[in-house]
Amino acid sequence: MRTTAVSKPRAKAKKKVPPYTDIDQVLISEAKIAAKVKQMAAKISRDYAGKDVVLVCVLKGAVVFLSDLMRHLTLPCIVDYVDWSSYGSSTSSSGVFRILRDLEESVESRHVLIIEDIIDTGLTLHYLKRHIQGRNPASVKVVALLDKPSRRKIEARADYCGFEVPDEFVVGYGLDYEQKYRNLPFVAVLKPEIYAGRDTPPDRA
């Protein structure tokens, strides 16, 4: 599947109320996301035709993506959730994880699709994939809405990827900054002053 690289020009967020007033630029519009998610689901449905899948959603960021994607899948599927918390800053993985929630469903001999919001350093996905592979699934593949390949610290790759994004910290459509902005319907970059004096993203200390 073709991954769409995102580049300028970008639209401005139109609403003049919070949290819209914190937005600098809309990087990927609601319409573009909707079209891409539908296209990704169609491809997955074709590739897995005749099979059952287990969707493993990485909390919390991938919840919005999961809920849109799964409704376009024409496959029998079950859904499970994992929550891996990385020690370190609020904007970058340290690579040392605490498992806050592990799989509840058995994935043994099943086809697993890991649903991620964004692949950044790759650390979360790298170790999560290994963790799931240790449970003897029939296969494990990765579905990521966004990918920031320039930030990779370890090998990690999406089998299905929506958009490549530049090295900027993005929010919206499930993605947060300090737990906020997940409810924005598009993917956006915040105004620099929102990060100012805090944990300046991404990893630029």
Place of tokens 């089998």: 159
Instruction: Clarify whether 120 is annotated catalytic.
Output: yes
Among the listed residues 27, 44, 57, 61, the single contact to Mg ion using CB under 5 A: 61
Pick the catalytic residue from 68, 117, 120, 147.
120
Q: Any alpha helices (H) in the chain, and if so which ranges?
A: 30-47, 63-70, 123-133, 192-195
Q: Is the peptide bond prior to 202 cis by the omega test (within 30 degrees of 0)? A: yes
Site for ligand IMP in 110-149 (CB under 6 A): 116-125
Q: Strand pairing partners for 114?
A: 56, 142
Give the CB-nearest residue to Mg ion. Answer: 61
Interface with Mg ion (CB under 5 A), residue total: 2
Judged by CB under 6 A, does residue 182 bind ligand IMP? Answer: no
From the list ligand IMP, Mg ion, none, pick the one residue 119 interacts with, judged by a Cβ distance below 5 to 8 Å according to partner type: ligand IMP
Nearest 5°: the CA angle 71, 75, 81 is 65
Structure tokens at 60: 């919390």
Q: In the complex, which residues of this chain contact Mg ion (CB under 5 A)? A: 61, 117
Q: In the complex, which residues of this chain contact ligand IMP (CB under 6 A)? A: 58, 61, 93, 116-125, 169-171, 175
Annotated catalytic sites, by residue?
120
